[in-house]
């Protein structure tokens, strides 16, 4: 994982997650943990069933194409599946 150059997104293997810095100094960690991550651009759903765009599900992946491993870079998604295909 890494941050983008602006520090507003955390780049992960399933996409870029928006970092929402709380404005209130007394924000409790539990409040932050309840939030649903907001992804920027192309990505994969946390369960690997969907290709997403800005957190919206856009293309369902049949079970034989759901990732065993994945990488997202810019507008490119690489998916490795259990049958050892990419």
CB 66 within 8 A of CB 48: yes
- Identify the pLDDT of residue 36: 64
Does 59 score more than 90 pLDDT? yes
Does 34 score more than 70 pLDDT? no
Does 33 score more than 60 pLDDT? no
- Edge to edge, the sheet with strand 15-18 lists 2-3, 9-12, 15-18, 39-40
Does 28 score more than 60 pLDDT? no
pLDDT-based confidence at residue 21 (cuts at 50, 70, 90): low
Tokens of 6: 């602006």
Tokens of 3: 């941050």
- Identify the pLDDT of residue 38: 75
């Amino acid at each position: 994982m890494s941050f983008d150059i602006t520090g507003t997104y955390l780049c992960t293997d399933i996409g870029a997650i928006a970092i929402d810095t709380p404005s209130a100094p007394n924000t409790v960690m539990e409040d932050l943990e309840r939030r649903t991550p907001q992804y920027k651009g192309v990505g994969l759903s946390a369960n690997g069933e969907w290709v997403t765009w800005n957190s919206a599900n856009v293309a369902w992946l049949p079970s034989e194409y759901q990732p065993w491993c994945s990488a997202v870079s810019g507008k490119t998604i690489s998916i490795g599946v259990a049958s050892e295909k990419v």
